[in-house]
Structures are given as structure tokens and as C-alpha cells.
């Protein structure tokens, strides 16, 4: 079995090793999850919500332990870990607990006149075993949000964390707070190889968060089995700043949006467009505030920016910035490592980047932003939409009508107005992308329903009545159907009288036996 070293991402010392899962372990995980699903299937949403409350309480009680583990494996700053990993999950769990019963309740649906006397309903049912594959940047948040959603909807889960940040045992520990969910969440460790074997077990759905590169591979493997796939992929998020903003606040939002989690966030700000008339003062203030940011990990909550978790990601960041520099872009802050021996990349601001540079055309996923000036609303819409990605964006202006107009024109899955990355902060809002940023939605009613399949019901009464559209077909019935259609779909004042007469005639004709 192939051992994988899990490292302290700052000191690079090995914390522990995980093994690539064997074929047997993969099969066993699915067997257990399938058994777990049979039990969960019999539960009500209310019972599952009670179980969710226990997990939520365990997360609340253990929040500092969660932060410790996350910081160790990711190298992120302590505040980043506390707010986005622990608080973010608690907030979402509370939303789920309060809203799942309503969103998953059986629904009455409208029954049209032509089906008079019948009733229509929709049930929102679980899918089965959902396979969740996660990345390393928010290893606790992304795991728990997707797992809790799947469970609330009545699915059991096989979960594969990133091999870079497996948080070994932590998810299992939190789930053990609820006996109901014990068999229903099976964590399987390993790399993409293990993930491929898991897909071969034919889960009912694959919920994937990660890079577009891997998303394409998963989609193609899943196509062989016609497994539905949800893809939450990367971004190149734009921030659009009009001339009427408060510069200090907008600069503070810009820096946080670009540098939070050291920029290793799918929705971090990567491209900033500022109206020409305030461009110079905006850039000056941005540089000034950027210079004050504190880089550290293993801190007591007083560092702004942590380390870069994955060494290959650090290579991508360095390569993109170095290429931009040599192609003529102007690096006005950062642009290098804090030191040679630690994975801290200085917060970086780049001017004069062009779309042929990877720093503008590809996801950077680091503490790096590009900035440029724009002159008109339409020009900034066109320029910022000119990307393969479409995850989220922010628009900043006192003129809310204009901000709304721009928000509608942006080809993205979410827009924060006069704030940044805040759509994600509201668990009631759906989260997901367009274009190469993926498809499907997590969170909100749409995200929860995404873990279900609807079952349509039409209930008729038990009687001797033969339906008009059943056999036998006769010429008489055909004429009556024509009159009925004319009455039902045509126009005119006599419509309802005609409808009643032709309906009654059709009904009576339909009760006559053949011959
Ligand atoms: P990645 O695609 O390299 O890996 C993600 C997961 O996929 C890991 O668990 C990995 O082991 C697994 N994997 C690798 N090869 C696989 C294969 N062939 N089949 C199945 N699974 C395979 O991504 P990453 O580097 O871990 O994460 C960073 C990326 O995730 C960035 O692009 C970021 O934008 C994106 N992301 C998106 C969101 C979102 O919600 N849209 C959130 C966080 C991160």
C-alpha cells in the first residue's frame, strides 16, 4: 500500500502518514454506506435534524481543536481557520437545522382542470450513497457542509478528503456524536487513484469540489455509469469599483477579499477593475494597507495571512507572477516569497497585466491580485466577463441601480454588492459557478434539493370510471376531444360553457363499452 506523508505545511515535518485505500477498503466503505442508507431511508427529516443538532454541538464544543488541526495541516492563519472553517460550518448547520424540514417537506402541486378530481404531490427523496470528493483549501468547511447537506436529505456518504489535508479522524470524530449517522459517513483516504476506485463503485451522485482539471476527469469517468455529477470548481473573480465609493472601506474589502486564506479560496478576488477617475488614489491606499499585512501561521489569532498549503500551488503562484514580470507587468507590491525557507508568499499587487499572461487568464489561487482602470460600465462588464471562469464577483458603488445592472450582466454564479465574498456568508443563498467554474449549487434550498430527487405523485380515486383518453378510441370521442380542446385552449366568452358541455359529453361517451 502506498503511504502518503501528511505534512505540517509550514515546517514541512511529517505529521503522520495515510495509506492509499485498498480495493477491499473501497468496497467496504460502499457496503457500509449502502447499509447505512437503508436505515436512514426509514427516518423522517425531523429525526435527521435531531441527529444534525448533535453533530453541530460537537463542532461547537470542539471548535478550538478543529482550528488546531486545520492550522497544522493547511498553514492558514488562526483567524482564517476559526471564522471560515468552524464558524462557517456552525452557521450553515444552524440554517440546515432550521430549514431542512420545510424545504424537504412533501409539496402539493397544482392539478389542471383537465385532470379535475385528482390530486398532485411532489416528494423530495434521498438519492442513495453520495460520493463527496474535497480539496485542501477549506478541508473542514467543505467536508462538513457537503456531508451535512447530504445527510439532512437522507443520503449516506462516502467522503474522500484531499490527501494533502486529510484531517485524519476529525470528520469521523464529529460524526460519532450522532449514533444515527455513524454508519452513514464513511471516510476513505487516498489520492485521485482512490477517488477513481470510489467512482467505480457507482455512487448515486458525485459531489466534487476542486480544480477544473480534475472535474473534467471525474465527469468523463462518471459518464460511463451515467452518474450525476456536481462540480464546484475554480474561479478568477472580479471586483468592480465605481467612482462613488468610500475608498478606505473598499480598499479594506479588496485586500481581505484577495488575501483571505492567503488567496487560496475559489472565490477570492483575483482581478480588480477601478474607475479611472479614482484609480490613482485607490492604488496608493491599496499599496499602503497591503504593506501592513502580517504573515504568520501557528499564531494566536494576530496574523492576517498564513502560508501556502500545497507546494505545487506555490510553484503555480511563483510561475504566474514571474512570467507576468518578464512579460512587462508591473509588480507594485510583493511578487516574491517572504523568505526562502517558509511557504509564505508576500501579498502581491500587479498592474498592466494582459490577457495573454497566465496571471490573468488562469486561476492563481494565491495572495495575488491584478488591478487596472476602466472608463465605462459596458467596457468593464465586457472585459471582466472575458474569462473562462464564472464563480463570483463583487460590484462597488453608491448607485445601487447601477450596481444591480452590472450584477445582472456578469456571467457568474454570485455577486456581492458593496461587500466581498459575502454571498458565501449567507447559508440561505445558493453557491456555485458558471462556465469553467462548474455547475450545480450547494447551500440554500437549491443546494439541499440538489441532494434529492423529486418523485411526482398523482392520486386518483378508486372507482368504476373509465378515463376519456383510455381505450376504446372512436370517431365520436375524437370529435368530442376536438370540441373539448377548443373549449379549454380557445378564446371567447362562451369558453367555459363549451368546456362544461364537451367535458360532460366526453365523460359519458368514455363510459360506453367497446362495440
Ligand atoms: P484537485 O482537483 O487537485 O483535487 C481535489 C480532489 O480531487 C482531491 O481530493 C484529489 O485527491 C481528488 N482527485 C484528484 N484526481 C482525481 C481523479 N482523477 N478523480 C477523482 N478525484 C481526483 O483540487 P485541489 O488542488 O485540491 O483544490 C484546489 C481547487 O479547488 C482550486 O481550483 C479551487 O478553486 C477549487 N475549489 C473550488 C471551490 C468551489 O466551491 N467552487 C471551493 C474550494 C476549492
The secondary structure of 282-331 as a DSSP string is HHHHHHHHHTTPPB-SS-SS--SB---S-HHHHHHHHHHHHHHHHTT-EE
Share of the chain above pLDDT 70, in %: 100
Centre of ligand 1 to C-alpha 159, Å, is 13
Q: What is the pLDDT of residue 462?
A: 95
Nearest CA to ligand 1 atom 22: 192
| Residue 367 confidence (pLDDT) above 70 | yes
Q: What is the pLDDT of residue 1?
A: 60
Specify the DSSP element, H or E, that contains 57. Answer: helix 45-61
Instruction: Find the radius of gyration of the CA atoms of the chain.
Output: 28
Helix 192-200 and helix 23-40, axial crossing angle in degrees, nearest 10: 50
Q: Is residue 162 within 6 Å of ligand 1 at its C-beta?
A: yes
Q: Which atom of ligand 1 is nearest to the CA of 432?
A: 41
Centre of ligand 1 to C-alpha 265, Å, is 12
CA 38 remoteness from chain centre:
27
Q: Is residue 192 within 6 Å of ligand 1 at its C-beta?
A: yes
Helix 279-290 and helix 247-259, axial crossing angle in degrees, nearest 10: 50
Give, in order, the Cα–Cα distances in Å from 30 to each of 131, 135, 141, 223.
9, 21, 23, 20
Centre of ligand 1 to C-alpha 435, Å, is 17
Residue 288 burial (C-beta neighbours within 10 Å; 0-12, 13-18, 19+): exposed
Confidence class of residue 224 from pLDDT cuts 50, 70 and 90?
very high
| Residue 317 confidence (pLDDT) above 90 | yes
User: Average of pLDDT values for 149-177?
Assistant: 98
Calpha distance 298→317 (Å, rounded): 22
- 23-233+445-455: CATH class: alpha beta
- Our mutation pick for probing the ligand 1 site, out of 137, 214, 262, 392, counting the most ligand atoms within 8 A of Cβ, is 214
Q: Is residue 483 within 6 Å of ligand 1 at its C-beta?
A: no
Calpha distance 412→117 (Å, rounded): 44
Q: Is residue 163 within 6 Å of ligand 1 at its C-beta?
A: yes
Centre of ligand 1 to C-alpha 210, Å, is 2
Q: Which residues is 9 bridged to in the sheet?
A: none
* 347: alpha, beta or left? (left if phi > 0; alpha if psi -120 to 50): beta
Q: What is the pLDDT of residue 419?
A: 98
Name which of 341, 370, 336, 309 is nearest 77 in CA terms: 309
Calpha distance 286→174 (Å, rounded): 41
Q: Is residue 316 within 6 Å of ligand 1 at its C-beta?
A: no
Per the listing, cell 504573515 goes with 295
Sequence ranges of the domains in the chain: 23-233+445-455, 237-426, 463-510
Centre of ligand 1 to C-alpha 214, Å, is 6
196 close to 131: Cβ distance less than 8 angstroms: no
Q: Which atom of ligand 1 is nearest to the CA of 135?
A: 26
Q: Is residue 134 within 6 Å of ligand 1 at its C-beta?
A: yes
Active site residues: 232, 266
Name which of 366, 336, 337, 147 is nearest 265 in CA terms: 366
Nearest CA to ligand 1 atom 15: 192
Centre of ligand 1 to C-alpha 135, Å, is 4
Share of the chain above pLDDT 90, in %: 96
CATH code of 237-426, in short, is 3.40.309.10
pTM of the entire structure? 0.97
Per the listing, cell 480534475 goes with 214
Q: Is residue 364 within 6 Å of ligand 1 at its C-beta?
A: no
Low-confidence winner among 155-164, 319-328, 394-403, 495-504 (lowest mean pLDDT): 495-504
Q: Is residue 211 within 6 Å of ligand 1 at its C-beta?
A: yes
Strand order in the sheet with 452-459: 107-109, 119-126, 452-459
Amino acid at each position: 500500500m502506498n503511504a502518503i506523508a501528511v505534512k505540517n505545511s509550514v515546517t514541512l515535518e511529517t505529521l503522520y502518514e495515510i495509506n492509499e485505500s485498498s480495493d477491499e477498503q473501497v468496497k467496504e466503505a460502499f457496503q457500509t454506506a449502502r447499509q447505512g442508507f437503508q436505515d436512514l431511508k426509514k427516518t423522517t427529516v425531523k429525526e435527521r435534524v435531531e441527529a444534525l443538532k448533535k453533530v453541530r454541538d460537537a463542532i461547537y464544543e470542539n471548535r478550538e481543536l478543529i482550528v488546531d488541526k486545520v492550522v497544522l495541516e493547511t498553514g492558514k492563519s488562526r483567524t482564517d481557520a476559526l471564522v471560515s472553517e468552524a464558524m462557517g460550518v456552525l452557521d450553515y448547520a444552524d440554517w440546515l437545522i432550521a430549514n431542512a424540514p420545510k424545504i424537504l417537506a412533501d409539496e402539493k402541486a397544482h392539478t389542471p382542470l383537465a385532470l379535475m378530481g385528482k390530486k398532485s404531490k411532489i416528494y423530495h427523496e434521498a438519492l442513495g450513497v453520495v460520493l463527496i470528493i474535497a480539496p485542501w483549501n477549506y478541508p473542514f468547511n467543505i467536508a462538513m457542509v457537503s456531508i451535512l447537506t447530504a445527510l439532512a436529505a437522507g443520503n449516506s456518504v462516502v467522503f474522500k478528503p484531499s490527501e494533502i489535508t486529510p484531517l485524519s479522524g476529525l470528520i469521523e470524530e464529529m460524526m460519532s456524536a450522532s449514533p444515527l449517522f455513524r454508519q452513514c459517513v464513511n471516510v476513505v483516504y487516498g489520492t485521485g487513484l482512490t477517488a477513481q476506485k470510489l467512482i467505480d463503485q457507482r455512487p448515486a451522485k458525485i459531489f466534487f469540489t476542486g480544480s477544473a482539471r480534475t472535474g473534467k476527469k471525474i465527469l468523463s469517468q462518471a459518464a460511463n455509469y451515467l452518474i450525476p455529477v456536481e462540480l464546484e470548481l475554480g474561479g478568477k473573480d472580479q471586483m468592480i469599483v465605481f467612482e462613488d465609493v468610500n475608498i478606505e472601506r473598499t480598499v479594506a474589502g479588496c485586500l481581505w477579499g484577495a488575501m483571505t486564506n492567503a488567496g487560496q479560496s475559489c472565490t477570492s478576488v483575483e482581478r480588480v477593475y477601478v474607475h479611472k477617475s479614482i484609480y490613482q488614489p485607490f492604488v496608493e491606499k491599496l499599496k499602503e494597507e497591503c504593506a501592513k499585512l502580517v504573515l504568520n501561521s501557528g499564531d494566536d489569532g494576530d496574523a492576517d495571512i498564513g502560508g501556502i498549503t500545497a507546494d505545487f500551488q506555490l510553484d503555480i503562484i511563483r510561475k504566474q507572477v514571474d512570467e507576468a514580470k518578464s512579460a512587462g507587468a508591473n509588480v507594485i507590491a510583493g511578487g516574491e516569497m517572504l523568505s526562502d525557507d517558509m511557504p509564505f508568499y508576500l501579498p502581491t499587487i500587479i498592474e498592466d497585466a494582459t490577457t495573454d499572461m497566465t496571471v490573468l487568464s488562469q486561476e492563481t489561487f494565491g495572495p495575488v491580485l491584478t488591478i487596472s482602470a476602466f472608463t465605462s460600465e459596458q467596457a468593464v462588464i465586457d472585459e471582466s466577463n472575458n474569462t473562462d471562469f464564472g464563480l463570483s464577483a463583487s460590484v462597488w458603488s453608491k448607485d445601487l441601480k447601477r450596481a444591480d445592472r452590472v450584477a445582472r450582466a456578469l456571467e457568474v454564479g454570485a455577486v456581492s454588492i458593496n461587500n466581498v465574498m459575502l454571498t458565501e456568508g449567507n447559508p440561505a443563498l445558493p453557491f456555485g459557478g458558471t462556465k469553467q467554474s462548474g455547475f450545480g449549487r450547494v447551500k440554500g434550498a437549491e443546494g439541499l434539493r440538489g441532494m434529492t430527487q423529486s418523485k411526482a405523485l398523482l392520486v386518483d380515486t378508486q372507482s368504476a370510471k373509465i378515463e376519456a383518453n383510455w381505450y376504446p378510441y372512436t370517431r365520436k370521442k375524437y370529435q368530442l376531444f376536438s370540441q373539448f380542446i377548443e373549449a379549454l385552449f380557445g378564446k371567447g366568452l362562451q369558453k367555459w360553457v363549451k368546456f362544461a358541455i364537451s367535458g360532460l359529453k366526453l365523460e359519458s361517451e368514455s363510459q360506453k363499452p367497446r362495440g
